[in-house]
Structure 1
Amino acid sequence: MTAIIDLRDVTYTYPAEEETRPAVANLTLTIEQGEWIAIVGHNGSGKSTMAKLINGLLFPQQGTVELFGLPLNEQTLWEIRSNLGMVFQNPDNQFVGATVQDDVAFALENNGIPYQEMVERVTSALKQVQMEEFVNQEPHHLSGGQKQRVAIAGAIALRPKLLILDEATSMLDPQGRREVIQTIRALRDLSDVTVLSITHDLEEAMLADRVIVMNGGEKYAEGNPRDVFGNRDEITALGLDLPFAANVAALLRTQGVELPSTLMSEQELVDLLWTLHSNK
Structure 2
Amino acid sequence: MTGARIRAVDWGWRHAGGDAPAVAGLSLTIEPGERVLVVGASGAGKSTLLAGIAGVLGDDEDGDETGMLTIDDVPAREARGACGLVLQDPDSQVMLARVGDDIAFGCENLAVPRDEIWQRVAVAKAAVGLDVPDEHPTNALSGGQQQRLALAGVLAMRPGALLLDEPTANLDPSGTRDVVASVRRIADDGGLTVVVVEHRVDVWAPHVDRLVVVGPSGIVHDGPLERVVAEHGDELVAAGVWLPGRPVEIAPRARAESRAQGTDGQAPETPSSPGEALLEARDLEIGWRGAAPLQRDLNVTVRSGHLLAIVGPNGSGKSTLAMTLGGLHPPLAGEVLATPALAEGLGADVRSWRSKHLITRIGTVFQQPEHQFVARTVRDEIAVGLRALRRDRDDVDARVDDMLRGLGLVELADASPFELSGGQQRRLSVATVLATRPRVIVLDEPTFGQDRRTWRHMVDRCAALLDDGCAIVAVSHDSRFVAALASETLELARIMDAGGQAALSVA
Q: Normalised by the size of structure 1, how large is the TM-score?
A: 0.75
Aligned to 2:229: 229
Partner AA of 2:203 in structure 1: E
Instruction: Determine helix, strand or coil for the equivalent of 2:240.
Output: coil
RMSD: 2.6
Distance 1:142 1:71 in 2: 36
State the match for 1:65 in structure 2.
Answer: 69
Distance 1:10 1:84, change over 3 A: same
Displacement of 1:152 in angstroms is 1.4
For the Cα contact (< 8 Å) 2:7–2:30, is it kept in 1?
Answer: yes
Name the CA distance, whole Å, in 2 between partners of 1:17 and 1:143.
33
Looking at structure 1, the residues matched to 176 and 4 of structure 2 have their Cα atoms a distance apart, in angstroms, of 29
Q: Report whether the alignment pairs 1:241 with 2:242.
A: yes
Q: Report the residue type matching 2:18 in the other structure.
A: E
Residues 167/120 of structure 1: CA separation in 2 closer, same or farther (3 Å cut): same
What is the alpha-carbon distance in structure 2 between the residues aligned to residue 179 and residue 227 of structure 1?
A: 27
For residues 171 and 110 of structure 1, what CA distance do their matches in structure 2 show? 28
CA contact (8 A) 1:34 1:193 kept: yes
Unaligned runs of 5+ residues in structure 2 are 249-507
1:162 is aligned to 2:177: no
Relative to structure 1, the CA distance from residue 17 to residue 208 in structure 2 (aligned partners, 3 Å threshold; closer, same or farther) is same
Aligned to 1:34: 33
Match of 1:259 in 2: none
Deviation at 1:209, TM superposition (A): 1.1
Give the structure 2 partner of residue 275 of structure 1: none
Question: Per-residue displacement from partner, 1:120-175 (whole Å, max 9, x unpaired)?
Answer: 22223223334466434334555544432232121121110011112222233333
Q: Is the 8 A contact 1:129 1:149 kept in 2?
A: yes
CA distance 1:153–1:33, change in 2 (3 Å): same
Secondary structure of the structure 2 residue equivalent to 1:157 = helix
- Partner Cα separation in structure 2 for residue 89 and residue 39 of structure 1: 14
Q: Secondary structure at the match of 1:13?
A: strand
**Do 2:4 and 2:82's aligned partners in 1 also have CA atoms closer than 8 Å?**
no
Instruction: Return the alpha-carbon distance in structure 2 between the equivalents of residues 18 and 142 of structure 1.
Output: 38
Listed one character per residue, the Cα deviations across residues 170-216 of structure 1 (whole Å, up to 9, x for unaligned) are 23333332232122122123221111111112123413111101111
CA distance in 1: counterparts of 2:142 and 2:227, whole angstroms:
35
Q: Aligned AA for 2:71?
A: L
What is the match of residue 196 of structure 1? 195
Given that 1:144 and 1:176 are in contact with CA atoms closer than 8 Å, whether structure 2 keeps it comes out as no
Higher RCO (CA 8 Å, separation ≥ 6 residues):
1
| CA distance in 2 between partners of 1:162 and 1:25 (Å) | 23
Measure, in 1, the Cα distance between the counterparts of 2:16 and 2:95: 32
Q: Which amino acid aligns with 1:69?
A: D
Secondary structure of the corresponding residue to residue 61 of structure 1: strand
Measured after TM superposition, the shift of residue 32 of structure 1 is: 0.9
Distance in 1, matches of 2:89 and 2:3, equals: 32
Q: 2:3 and 2:103 mapped to 1: Cα distance?
A: 29
1:98-113 equivalence runs, <5 A: 98-113=97-112
- Structure 2 distance, partners of 1:40, 1:217, is 14
Change (3 A) 1:160 1:194: same
Residue 3 to residue 195, structure 1, CA distance change in 2 (3 Å): closer
* SS of structure 2 residue aligned to 1:213: strand
Partner amino acid, structure 2, of 1:202: V
Unaligned ranges ≥5, structure 1: 249-280
Amino acid at match of 1:174: P
- Secondary structure of 2:150's counterpart equals helix
Give the match for residue 409 of structure 2: none
TM-score by length of 2: 0.43
Q: Look up the match of 1:256.
A: none
Per mean C-alpha deviation after superposition, the further-off stretch among 155-164 and 143-152 is 143-152
Structure 2 Cα separation of the partners of residues 235 and 72 of structure 1: 29
Amino acid at match of 1:72: A
Change (3 A) 1:239 1:129: closer
